[in-house]
Structure 1
């Protein structure tokens, strides 16, 4: 094993730990995290797209607070839903909620952020929402998704996207101000290209949007980022400072793949 490989593994583990720590802090704050991620209309649109049926075994990758997993388990009592995440604190809370709500068709599993702890062809569907931009080895993640899916299984992802004119990726630099392990937002074409490598074909898609706040950090840090990027590009994200919060608007890719 050479130094380059060791360095790569070290960077992967560091990124995963940063994400874990950042999300533990976000989940503890509660209200702000919910304001950043919850959108009932978007959730309903996704559920209509998925066409879930009885008997399915579904993996919710990067489940977080179970925002995606719980509604599915509640509405489709004859499905099995498993939420997978690296953040144990959130999973513990989810388990307590499932127990209190009497939901016997949902469970939550922790993992190392790289290898899924499931057998090959274990699921009919894999879903993920607002999570993949934190994954440091995205091609490996797609291969893992393909591995645990049955033949002709479905994979749905929902994740913010860069604006078309943001070629220098201001949005990624902005998102990295929040120390939660953000890696990159991908375009629709980039997702399709990554999907093809892992044996996926895009079968349906729609675009939505999200406008959300983050706590303002030091003015110097924000000013540095704002001064490094084209003002017109930044304007396209509707950046607005309101009291101690920064609001931004982002496009969201919603893509449904089928395993070939």
Structure 2
């Protein structure tokens, strides 16, 4: 029988002597599908079965409950009490090696938590120094006490000059026992340094207290050009002073107020 173009022979050859593998394999597959798999046709090779690709094994889900350990196996190396506890609670969880810890290393490693205890407080030196420098407590004095009178440590005050007019209103200056100079400079024994330039710088007048007769005298310095007055009178010599007399020097007025006099003098309570 003549073979038409496109037909195949039993040897899977086409006209021209060249095999056609695709058509031969397709015919074989169709013939094998219509027959029983266990009895393939004679002279026809059974098609190669495709082996399924084995999928990677899926790890089984981790069971939450620990597997029980046979008590018989554990009792060989453990006591009865430990074997019973192990059967109830299960084995101790193993520390993963990836954390860098093991049971032996954990026992050898020092604890990570340190307990720091505060040192006992020490007494402050500052408080001790303050206690030593603290003033003495006030002592309660009962009854009449004897007061000792000694020598003067400074010049005793016998009276005061109080500014009642001009610069320095309301100020005062003490009068000392003996001879006192009055002037604008601080070198004077009674300085009237309140800013009045009409007062002479040095010794424009003198004020003297005599403890023998307990009297006060005001003596103007006639060598000075600036004129002084006592109660609006310009003295040319010594003038005895009485309480509340007003002395004028330049544009300043001072009132005289005695402390010592006929009623009191420092010689009554002092040894010198």
Q: Does TM-score exceed 0.5, indicating one fold?
A: no
Bigger helix share: 1
Q: What's the TM-score, normalizing by structure 2? A: 0.20
Using CA pairs below 8 Å that are at least 6 residues apart, which structure has the higher relative contact order?
Answer: 1
